[in-house]
Amino acid sequence: MSENARPLDLLNTARGKMVLVELKNNHAITGKLVAFDVHINVTLENAEEKKEGETLRKLGNVFIRGDTIILISPTI
Amino acid sequence: MSENARPLDLLNTARGKMVLVELKNNHAITGKLVAFDVHINVTLENAEEKKEGETLRKLGNVFIRGDTIILISPTI
Amino acid sequence: MSENARPLDLLNTARGKMVLVELKNNHAITGKLVAFDVHINVTLENAEEKKEGETLRKLGNVFIRGDTIILISPTI
Amino acid sequence: MSENARPLDLLNTARGKMVLVELKNNHAITGKLVAFDVHINVTLENAEEKKEGETLRKLGNVFIRGDTIILISPTI
Amino acid sequence: MSENARPLDLLNTARGKMVLVELKNNHAITGKLVAFDVHINVTLENAEEKKEGETLRKLGNVFIRGDTIILISPTI
Amino acid sequence: MSENARPLDLLNTARGKMVLVELKNNHAITGKLVAFDVHINVTLENAEEKKEGETLRKLGNVFIRGDTIILISPTI
Amino acid sequence: MSENARPLDLLNTARGKMVLVELKNNHAITGKLVAFDVHINVTLENAEEKKEGETLRKLGNVFIRGDTIILISPTI
């Protein structure tokens, strides 16, 4: 654990991997993390919108605005 | 998947194509993406406002303020 | 569709024309677009406040603060 | 209608005149516009707080923080 | 009424006097205005928290964060 | 009462003393003020979370993000 | 208690230790603090999401956006 560790390091290592993105409206989106920026705007591939574990719909490619995001967690 | 990929790249490739824009008020707007900026302000052509899949009304050209947007997804 | 198109272009071409402004409080205001700025603050002439299609009242000249706006759509 | 018209022009011409200020909490305040700034902070004289047309109370001089304001409309 | 009048002028003249501060959570705080800054952060002396005219409790000295404030009105 | 008084002066004199911090979610936290910054982020020692006067739990050391704070009041 | 103490000092000393992160949506997340930045974006290891003391699910590594955080408290 380095003193220089930064929060965006986790997102950097998650590029190209599946992540869970939780939104402020209680929905979640899963997908492969393609890109992110300092506002935490992210783009995902093969994205699916979920609520309480159920897939609501498939979104494919999606841009998510950073200020609607609560958390991002890489899934195994 | 490049380390240099940025979230706005997805919006760039979506210019001139149909997109779904989901808003914080639970409405969605579909239309052809004409322009966007770093605030994620966007303009659409042939826009239609939708709620739960139904078309509420046709808006034609529309400017959408970025801070009301949850996500933008290109539709096939 | 130019790669240089910007969202504010739509507002520029709408100057002097009737627009619909939808607000975050579910009200809408129609009127002739007089001016706007980068915050999307706008001023309208002959403005009318509406809810679900009904005119609630006539406002005449009005300044609308940008951060309360969801979308702006030129009306024919 | 000049291409150089700016939203704050309307507030400039309203200085010293009666205005209606609508707030995000559904209240409105009327009074004589004394001053405003780029954040749309405003000060009024002889201000009265209103809800659904009724005067709730007289405030006299009042400073209103810009981010609570929906719209400002000069009254005749 | 000068063209150079600014909203903070009202707060400047209210220093050392009793003011009413209305908050976004529907509470109000009265007290002697000691200081304010450009964010409209304020400090009061002999402050009392009120709701619908009743004193909820005495706070003494208090720092109020500007972004929770709707309006500030000097009381006679 | 100096014309140069600033809101953060109150927080400076409260360092090392007990303060009440009221949050936007209607909870309050009491504790000894250790540090604060211009965003009004604060850290407390011996902190206790309270609701309607009752201690909900003891937090010990705590960092509170400034934008969740309504007010800070030194307690005797 | 130094006059130079800053709120982020507490987070610095908490690196590598278990913390409780309370969110604006009433959920809490516990985990080992890996990194944080000036926006209070944080990353945790071995994170668990909790509500009213019960573990809702295990998140593993997680990035939490700063503007959703109420408080962060090191746990013993």
For the stretch D51-71, pLDDT in tens is: 888 899 999 999 999 999 999
Note whether F59 contacts G66, CB cutoff 8 Å: no
Q: Which residues of D touch E26 (CB under 8 A)?
A: 25
Determine how β-strand C54-64 pairs with β-strand B42-51: unpaired
Q: Which residues of F touch E63 (CB under 8 A)?
A: 7-8, 10-11, 40, 71-73
Decide: D43 and D66 in contact? Cβ < 8 Å.
Answer: no
pLDDT digits (tens, 9 = 90+) for C26-52: 899 999 999 999 999 999 999 999 988
What percent of chain E clears pLDDT 90, i.e. is strictly above it? 83
Confidence band (pLDDT; 50, 70, 90) for B17? Answer: very high
Give the pLDDT of residue C4. Answer: 81
pLDDT digits (tens, 9 = 90+) for A37-53: 999 999 999 999 998 88
Give the pLDDT of residue G2. Answer: 61
Confidence band (pLDDT; 50, 70, 90) for G51? Answer: confident
Interface test with G, best of A67, A70, A72 (most G CBs within 10 A): A70
What percent of chain F clears pLDDT 90, i.e. is strictly above it? 83
Of C12, C25, C43, the CB nearest to D7: C43
Note whether B74 contacts A67, CB cutoff 8 Å: no
Give yes or no for residue F66 having a pLDDT over 60: yes
d(C-alpha E4, C-alpha C41), whole Å = 22
Give yes or no for residue B52 having a pLDDT over 90: no
Q: Which residues of D touch E11 (CB under 8 A)?
A: 63
Of G1, G3, G10, the CB nearest to F63: G10
User: Counting every residue, how long is chain C?
Assistant: 76
Assigned domain for D33 exists: yes
Give the pLDDT of residue D33. Answer: 98
Note whether B15 contacts C24, CB cutoff 8 Å: no
For residue D62, the 8-state DSSP code is E
Phi then psi for residue F27, to 5 deg, are -90, 165
Give yes or no for residue B2 having a pLDDT over 70: no
Give the pLDDT of residue A51. Answer: 85
Range of the domain at B20: 7-74
Own/partner pairs for B9-12, CB < 8 Å, 24+ apart?
A: B9/A35, B9/A43, B10/A34, B10/A35, B10/A43, B10/A61, B10/A62, B10/A63, B10/B72, B10/B74, B11/A63, B11/B36, B11/B42, B11/B72, B12/C3
Give yes or no for residue C1 having a pLDDT over 90: no
Confidence band (pLDDT; 50, 70, 90) for A4? Answer: confident
Assigned domain for D43 exists: yes
Distances (CA, A) of C66 to A29, C21, D67, G16: 29, 10, 10, 43
Interval B22-38 mean pLDDT: 96
Note whether C73 contacts B60, CB cutoff 8 Å: yes
d(C-alpha B34, C-alpha C40), whole Å = 18
Assigned domain for F1 exists: no
Element (H, E) at B57: strand B54-64
CA distance G73 to chain A (A): 18
Q: Which CATH number is D18's domain given?
A: 2.30.30.100
Assigned domain for D24 exists: yes
Confidence band (pLDDT; 50, 70, 90) for B51? Answer: confident
Give the pLDDT of residue G44. Answer: 98
Give the pLDDT of residue D62. Answer: 98
Burial of F71 (0-12, 13-18, 19+ CB in 10 A): buried
Around Cβ G24, how many Cβ atoms within 10 Å?
A: 17
Give the number of domains in chain A.
Answer: 1
Give the pLDDT of residue B76. Answer: 64
List of residues 6+ apart from A46 with CB closer than 8 A? A31, A32, A58, A60
Assigned domain for G2 exists: no
pLDDT digits (tens, 9 = 90+) for G3-47: 689 999 999 999 999 999 999 998 999 999 999 999 999 999 999
Give yes or no for residue E3 having a pLDDT over 80: no
Longest dimension (CA), chain G: 41
Give the pLDDT of residue E4. Answer: 81
Q: Is the ipTM of this complex over 0.85?
A: yes
Please give the residue that has the higher pLDDT: either B59 or G52.
B59
Assigned domain for C49 exists: yes
What percent of chain B clears pLDDT 70, i.e. is strictly above it? 95
- Which amino acid is it at D8? L
pLDDT digits (tens, 9 = 90+) for D15-56: 999 999 999 998 999 999 999 999 999 999 999 999 888 899
Q: Which residues of A touch G11 (CB under 8 A)?
A: none
> What's the pTM value of the predicted model, to 2 decimals?
0.94
Interval G58-66 mean pLDDT: 97
Confidence band (pLDDT; 50, 70, 90) for C20? Answer: very high
Give yes or no for residue G59 having a pLDDT over 70: yes
Q: Which residues of D touch C48 (CB under 8 A)?
A: none
Give the pLDDT of residue G76. Answer: 64
Give yes or no for residue F2 having a pLDDT over 80: no
Interface test with D, best of E4, E9, E10, E33 (most D CBs within 10 A): E10
Give the pLDDT of residue F76. Answer: 63
List of residues 6+ apart from C45 with CB closer than 8 A? C31, C32, C34, C60, C61
Which pair of structure tokens corresponds to residue G8?
A: 């982020």
Where does B1-76 have alpha helices with state H? Answer: 7-14
Give yes or no for residue G1 having a pLDDT over 60: no
Interval F28-52 mean pLDDT: 96
Assigned domain for B2 exists: no
